Homo-oligomer: A and B are copies of this chain.
């Protein structure tokens, strides 16, 4: 048997410690909306995105480096920050050449967990940069953990679907002995024809949360492949385009 690298899916930050983080590339997945927004800002020319784990730290660093402070708590712009967590807030006209300092409920928290556990490499994944993520994983030939940011540690459908989308494209290059991965792939196969309709039909919690804020456009964008096809890699405190 060929000596392929292994791939695991962690469906919630609470499960991350079950996997060998220090020997893996960790893909941070926060589809609605942190990692979609990160890909979009970088695609549109942002110099970098600095993920921070608290609003206070976001304000502090934003001041130091004259960056754009952005982030949400419970799906809304956090008090004290200038911008929110919608990819549509970061068109090229606005974000080109700027540095974003971003804090979100789940995604940035998971990224710091992976960092603390000594991940070999940290990248961020979302449908807008699906192909870039898959190409990178296939090329690197390293062990992979698909890390779903979930919602306050509760498993969510949209991050699971993205993990499934990645698996469906990279499965031949990895050894996958992981039921969470098989569940993710089965969910993706079930929903892939129309992910928006599938989220709605599945009664996904975060779908409802964002629809209640009038954010259907955000959801649709965040479920569409390759609209911002860059690969954000974490280096020395910043997410940069590879």
Residues of A that sit less than 8 Å from B by CB: 11-12, 14-15, 18, 151-157, 160, 176-180, 182-183, 186-187, 190, 202-206
Contact = CB atoms under 8 A, between A and B. Distances in A.
A203 B157 CA distance: 21
Nearest to A155: B180
Contacts of A156: 179
Contact of A11 (B11, B151, B157, B204): B11
A179 B204 contact: yes
A205 B178 contact: yes
A201 to B, nearest CB: 9
A11 B155 contact: yes
A106 B183 CA distance: 20
Contacts of A15: 12, 14-15, 153-155
Contacts of A182: 157, 202-204
A177 to B, nearest CB: 6
A225 B176 CA distance: 30
Nearest to A158: B179
Q: Which residue among A15, A157, A190 has the maximum number of chain B CB atoms within 10 Å of its CB?
A: A15
A186 B179 contact: no
Contacts of A151: 179
B153 A179 contact: no
Contacts of A187: 183, 186-187
B18 A153 contact: yes
Contacts of A183: 155, 157, 160, 183, 187, 202
Given A15-B154, A176-B203, A179-B206, 12 more contacts: A14-B14, A14-B15, A15-B15, A18-B153, A154-B178, A155-B179, A155-B180, A177-B205, A178-B205, A182-B202, A182-B204, A190-B190
A160 B182 CA distance: 12
A34 to B, nearest CB: 17
A164 to B, nearest CB: 11
A219 to B, nearest CB: 15
A155 B184 CA distance: 11
A233 to B, nearest CB: 28
A183 B203 CA distance: 10
